[in-house]
């Protein structure tokens, strides 16, 4: 493959009849320069279509302005909105975004992290939903975690999941449900979703009802998820309310329920969790607990900025949730 010869600083210097230093100064607008020189250099740059080589600069400055994002997938209303928000906020702080979709595969997540680190990223925002917590996260690389406890010293941005779980469960209880079932990740998955379960269990216990949780992992294929929900209805035909830990599962559950002749909300009430914008457009009827997704993104970037600026003891942040009234629950 032919290597295209790039216009470099030296070429600009030659054309403008100055030294590399001067061009560099013009480029970075540093130091004293005569207007005439600036002018000539700018002209030379234009003429040659000069574009500075970020790699070379990065090698020197040890700063890449790159932030890595590691999430299960971007193909999801919640993560999609979140990553779009992160990208936007990072952009405003003049960072570029390196995307890594781990597909909830621990091995892939590790590989991604390795690669991102090799790329000398300036920071990392993680929200992958698995247990892999490699010890190279123990570097002093600025890291922010979203909805997931990674390590003690890493700040977490999360919704008030316990409160969300309360809102959802209470809503179903208020609607008169007596047999409420919950869906969530397996207990060993270290995500803050577990707080939603905790709230559900506490409220059910207080109300004197049994708490039953069906476990569905993030990377469970869709058909398999449907099979699990079908089993739910087989094993618990008395179910009259379901608190799903995310809207996608809520949608799937409603599909399965309807296919079995259950009417929603007459025979079965369903409350979801997330309330992403995309979901609101396609499925506005869904009653759900809405997270402040855009705010999460903004806060996360802010916490990362703080760390990059050298601040230590960056505090975790919990954000409020609201119940969104639909017709399914």
Partner DNA sequence: TTGAAAGCGCTAACAC
Partner DNA sequence: GTGTTAGCGCTTTCAA
Q: Please identify, among the stretches 28-36, 90-98, 124-132, 156-164, the one whose residues bind a copy of itself according to the rule CB under 8 A.
A: 90-98
Site string for DNA, 7-46 (x = CB under 7 A): -xxx------xxxxxx-xx-xx-xxxxx-xx---------
Q: Which is nearer to DNA, 36 or 281 (CB)?
A: 36
> Which stretch in 17-25, 80-88, 165-173, 314-322 sits in contact with a copy of itself by CB under 8 A?
80-88
Query: From CA 77, how far away is CA 275, in angstroms rounded?
Result: 9
When the beta carbons of 22 and 279 are compared against DNA, the nearer one is: 22
Work out which of 22, 26, 81, 180 binds a copy of itself, going by CB under 8 A: 81
**110 burial class (0-12, 13-18, 19+ CB within 10 angstroms)?**
middle
When CB distances are held under 5 to 8 angstroms depending on the partner's kind, the choice from a copy of itself, DNA, none that residue 37 binds is DNA
Q: Does residue 36 bind a copy of itself (CB under 8 A)?
A: no
| Contact between 11 and a copy of itself per CB under 8 A | no
Q: Which of 29, 32, 55, 312 binds a copy of itself (CB under 8 A)?
A: 55
Determine, following the binding rule CB under 8 A, whether residue 313 of this chain makes contact with a copy of itself. Answer: no
Q: Which of 131, 168, 156, 130 is nearest to 274 (CA)?
A: 168
Site for DNA in 172-211 (CB under 7 A): none
Site membership for DNA, residue 94 (CB under 7 A) = no
Interface with DNA: number of residues (CB under 7 A) = 30
d(CA 237, CA 155): 43
Q: How far is the CB of 88 from a copy of itself (least distance, A)?
A: 7
Give the range of 56-64, 150-158, 247-255, 279-287 binding DNA by CB under 7 A: 56-64
Spatial separation of the C-alpha atoms in residues 313 and 317, rounded to whole Å:
12
Instruction: Pick the closest to residue 186 from 197, 177, 178 (CA basis).
Output: 197
Q: Which does 193 bind (CB under 5 to 8 A by kind): a copy of itself, DNA, none?
A: none
Of 91-99, 143-151, 165-173, 320-328, the window that binds a copy of itself (rule: CB under 8 A) is 91-99
Interface stretch with a copy of itself, choices 21-29, 77-85, 164-172, 320-328 (CB under 8 A): 77-85
CA 169 to the chain's CA centroid: 25
Kindly list the residues in this chain that would bind a copy of itself in the complex (CB under 8 A): 1-4, 6, 49, 51-56, 58-59, 62, 64, 66, 69, 73-77, 80-81, 83-85, 87-88, 91, 96-101, 103, 108, 112, 114-120, 136, 140, 222, 247-248, 251-252, 255, 277-279, 281-284, 308-310
Kindly list the residues in this chain that would bind DNA in the complex (CB under 7 A): 5-6, 8-10, 17-22, 24-25, 27-28, 30-34, 36-37, 52-53, 56-57, 59-62
């Amino acid at each position: 493959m032919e290597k295209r010869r790039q216009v470099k600083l030296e070429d600009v210097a030659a054309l403008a009849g100055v030294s590399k230093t001067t061009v560099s100064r013009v480029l970075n607008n540093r130091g004293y320069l005569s207007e005439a020189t600036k002018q000539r250099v700018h002209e030379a740059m234009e003429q040659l279509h000069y574009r500075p080589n970020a790699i070379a600069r990065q090698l020197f400055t040890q700063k890449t302005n790159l932030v890595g994002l590691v999430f299960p997938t971007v193909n999801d209303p919640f993560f999609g909105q979140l990553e779009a928000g992160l990208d936007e906020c990072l952009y405003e702080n003049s960072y570029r975004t390196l995307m890594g979709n781990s597909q909830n595969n621990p091995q892939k997540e590790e590989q991604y992290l390795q690669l991102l680190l090799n790329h000398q990223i300036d920071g990392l925002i993680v929200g992958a939903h698995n247990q892999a917590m490699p010890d190279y996260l123990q570097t002093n690389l600025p890291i922010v975690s979203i909805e997931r406890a990674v390590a003690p010293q890493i700040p977490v941005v999360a919704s008030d999941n316990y409160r969300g779980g309360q809102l959802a469960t209470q809503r179903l209880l208020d609607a008169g449900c007596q047999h409420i079932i919950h869906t969530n990740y397996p207990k060993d998955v270290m995500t803050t979703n577990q707080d939603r379960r905790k709230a559900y269990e506490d409220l059910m216990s207080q109300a004197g009802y049994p708490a039953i949780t069906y476990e569905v992992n993030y990377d469970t294929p869709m058909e398999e998820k449907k099979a699990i929900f079908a089993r739910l209805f087989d094993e618990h035909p008395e179910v009259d309310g379901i608190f799903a830990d995310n809207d996608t599962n809520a949608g799937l559950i409603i599909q399965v329920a309807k296919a079995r002749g259950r009417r929603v909300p007459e025979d079965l009430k369903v409350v979801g969790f997330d309330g992403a914008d995309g979901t609101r457009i396609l499925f506005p009827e869904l009653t759900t607990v809405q997270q402040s997704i855009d705010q999460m993104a903004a806060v996360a970037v802010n916490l990362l900025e703080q760390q990059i600026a050298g601040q230590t003891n960056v505090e975790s942040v919990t954000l409020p949730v609201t119940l969104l009234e639909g017709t399914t629950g």
